[in-house]
Amino acid sequence: MTLTQLEYFCAVCRYHSIKGAADSLFVSSPTISVALKDLENEFHLQLFHHEKNKISLAEEGEAFYKRAETLLKMQEDMYTEFTEMAEETHPLKIGIPPLISMVFFPRMIDTFHETCDIPVQLFEYGSNRAQNLVSTGKLDIALVNMGFYNIDQFESHALMEDSYSLCVSRTHPLADKKSVSLEMLADESLIFYNTDSVQNQTFMTRFRALGIQPHILMHCSQLYTTLNFVRAGTCSAILFSSLAVNPRDFRMIPIEPKIVNKFGIIWKAGNYVPLRTTKFIQFAKGYDITSYVN
């Protein structure tokens, strides 16, 4: 007796048909028939009544079916338990965007480590590239700007919303404005996020709709570098409003009309989700980030 024979036997019981069982298991009908005959010969039992176009369990077959189902369930549980045990030794690979992750993610990861003994590896990618890496299985999870076009192809959970502001130095000509429009930025030297970011895509689309070709001085993913350029007073940067900058040196001016994006985690849809990934998803869904967002 083998587990494969038991699997074939139980499938016939469920489908009341050798052909139905064979189709569901992607094997041939003779393969199923041979397995059933071998079981009957090994235990000297009649497991089924065979009638024209119909197969039904014999009395001995009913008792055999109950025991076979128990054994297959034990096999499944054992496989799951030890597979998940092995998975927990592998690091959880998470993609994070360069700037928005600074708002709350370091504390979030620290809290996750306090509650779950699962190693984590962080990889810095813009949202567009990160979602491609989740699709190909190179990342388990990604924290992303959820404004990309094919978000519905992923499982996801939103964590926060944020809007955009123009960051300028205190000496910049726009520093005294209460808000700015995209039209007012037509002649500005701007610092954008890297080209693999949703922010870059969002603003280029809106500028084009207004017939504006923005003057992009640099694409940059590092806040320190960005602020050093802005500090000189000759350029400005479009940043998330929740990013903390020193008010003695900079002003964050809201962009109007307001442009809002959601941020959250994504993971691959339609696949078995490893235990380590499931634990992080459950943790993230219960995590309150409001106290860490300025």
Angle (nearest 5°) at CA 54 between 49 and 60:
25
The pLDDT, as a whole number, for residue 291 is 54
Distance CA 140, CA 121 (A): 10
**What torsion do the CA atoms of 156, 284, 288, 160 make, to the nearest 10 degrees?**
-30
Does position 87 have pLDDT exceeding 60, yes or no? no
Does position 118 have pLDDT exceeding 80, yes or no? yes
Q: Do 34 and 2 meet the contact criterion of CB atoms below 8 Å apart? A: no
The pLDDT, as a whole number, for residue 252 is 97
**Token couple for 130:** 């990160």
The pLDDT, as a whole number, for residue 54 is 76
CATH 1.10.10.10 spans which residues of the chain?
A: 3-76
**What torsion do the CA atoms of 63, 64, 68, 70 make, to the nearest 10 degrees?**
20
Angle (nearest 5°) at CA 165 between 159 and 169:
135
Closest CA to 155 of 173, 134, 170: 134
Q: CATH number of the domain at 3-76, out of 1.10.10.10, 3.30.1280.10, 1.10.150.20, 1.10.150.130? A: 1.10.10.10
- Alpha carbon separation from 219 to 3, 215, 239, 263 (Å, rounded): 58, 11, 12, 21
Across the range 279-292, mean pLDDT stands at 83
CATH 3.40.190.290 spans which residues of the chain?
A: 162-260
- Alpha carbon separation from 139 to 7, 30, 149, 265, 273 (Å, rounded): 34, 43, 19, 12, 12
The phi, psi pair for 27, rounded to 5°, reads: -130, 175
Reported as a single tens digit per residue, the pLDDT across 252-274 is 999 999 999 899 999 998 767 88
Angle (nearest 5°) at CA 194 between 192 and 199:
60
The pLDDT, as a whole number, for residue 288 is 83
Residue with tokens 């079916």: 65
Reported as a single tens digit per residue, the pLDDT across 2-18 is 888 899 889 888 888 88
Under 8 Å CB-to-CB from 52, ≥6 apart: which residues? Answer: none
**Angle between the N-to-C axes of helices 3-15 and 18-25, in degrees from 0 to 180, rounded to the nearest 10:** 120
Among 122-126, 164-168, 222-226, 289-293, where is mean pLDDT lowest?
A: 289-293
Reported as a single tens digit per residue, the pLDDT across 159-200 is 999 999 999 999 999 999 999 999 999 999 999 988 888 888
pTM confidence score: 0.67
CATH 3.40.190.10 spans which residues of the chain?
A: 92-160+261-292
Reported as a single tens digit per residue, the pLDDT across 21-68 is 888 887 888 898 898 898 888 888 888 888 777 788 888 888 898 898
CB atoms within 10 A of CB 288: 7
Q: CATH number of the domain at 92-160+261-292, out of 3.40.190.10, 2.20.28.120, 3.40.50.300, 3.40.605.10? A: 3.40.190.10
Query: What is the residue-averaged pLDDT of the chain?
Result: 88
The pLDDT, as a whole number, for residue 88 is 54
Instruction: Write down the H helix ranges in 16-142.
Output: 18-25, 29-43, 59-87, 101-115, 127-135
CATH number of 162-260: 3.40.190.290
The pLDDT, as a whole number, for residue 82 is 66
Distance CA 201, CA 145 (A): 11
Does position 294 have pLDDT exceeding 50, yes or no? no
Between 76 and 127, residue with greater pLDDT? 127
